[in-house]
Amino acid sequence: MPDRSLAAHPSHRPCVTAVLRIAGLRPTRQRVALAELLFHGPHRHISAEQLHAEASTANVNVSLATIYNTLHQFHEAGLLREVAIDASRSYFDTDTSDHHHFFVEDEQRMIDIPADAVEFKTLPRAPSGMEVAHVDVVIRVRKSQPE
């Protein structure tokens, strides 16, 4: 029985494997499967729980703990950006370039804000011996209430 998913994307798997190798990660079966789910389309923001649900749908059987570990490994390797919403919730962004976010509270969804749409008049100086690595802005929004 031919592997249809592979046949549908003949060049995709080698590409994901190469990306993982360049990032210094061994392309294990699970990493390749999760990388394919994460990077197959346009840039997006995804939580561990959402990726876990997508993996189940795609018949990729991995535990939520493995998903967390893999997302953090991808983040540390520079393949993903982590956007923390609160202490218990993070989204992972496949777009690692500098930009900010709206967080739509009722929909638990992130929308990109271009980096140059936010200007800082004053930023505090970094504590002695430190430098600012980057500045993340998350603007929380909700549906406006009808008058």
Q: Please identify, using beta-carbon distances, which residue of 27 and 115 lies nearer to Zn ion.
A: 115
* Minimum distance from residue 100 beta carbon to Zn ion (Å): 8
Q: Please identify, using beta-carbon distances, which residue of 13 and 113 lies nearer to Zn ion.
A: 113
* Minimum distance from residue 101 beta carbon to Zn ion (Å): 6
- Binding to Zn ion by CB under 5 A, coded x per residue (else -) over 110-129, reads --x-----------------
Residues 76-105 binding Zn ion (CB under 5 A) are 93, 95
Q: Please identify, using beta-carbon distances, which residue of 48 and 62 lies nearer to Zn ion.
A: 48
Q: How far apart are CA 100 and CA 116, in angstroms?
A: 9
b/e code 70-91 from CB counts within 10 Å (16+ = b) = bbebbbeeebbbebebeeeebb
Angstrom CA distances, 9 to 14, 33, 49, 61, stand at 10, 13, 26, 21
Residues found near Zn ion in the complex (CB under 5 A): 93, 95, 112
